[in-house]
Amino acid sequence: MSHFLLLDDSDVQHAFAAHLRKRREQEKLSRDALAARSGVPAPTIKKFELTGQISFRQLLLLWQSLDELSRLFALTQNTENNQSSMPTSIEEVLKNGF
């Protein structure tokens, strides 16, 4: 049975921050080392890891320094196929048991 998740922007921001922090720690990089690699200031990285708040450009710079940018880009592809499986009304949610 599928479970329907209700997410808001804060949930997604914190998920991105947690993912990149985990990747930074796996690579044994300090915030200063990541700042040198990415061009994003260390205080901005700290704020992002604590709050999830960062500019989109800086997010991309961090992401490409710690993960494959193509994985993030892939989220923008084939949106027509992804959206067709999502319910469009509360009736569909109730009918299909999302």
Q: For residue 1, what pLDDT is reported?
A: 47
Span 9-70: which CATH code?
Answer: 1.10.260
Predicted confidence (pLDDT) at residue 98 exceeds the cutoff of 70 = no
Mean pLDDT, residues 13-24? 96
Q: What is the pLDDT of residues 44-71, one digit of tens each?
A: 999 999 999 999 999 999 999 999 999 9
Mean pLDDT (the chain) is 87
Relative orientation angle of helices 31-38 and 56-66, to the nearest 10 degrees: 100
Cβ contact 85:78 at 8 Å: no
pTM here? 0.74
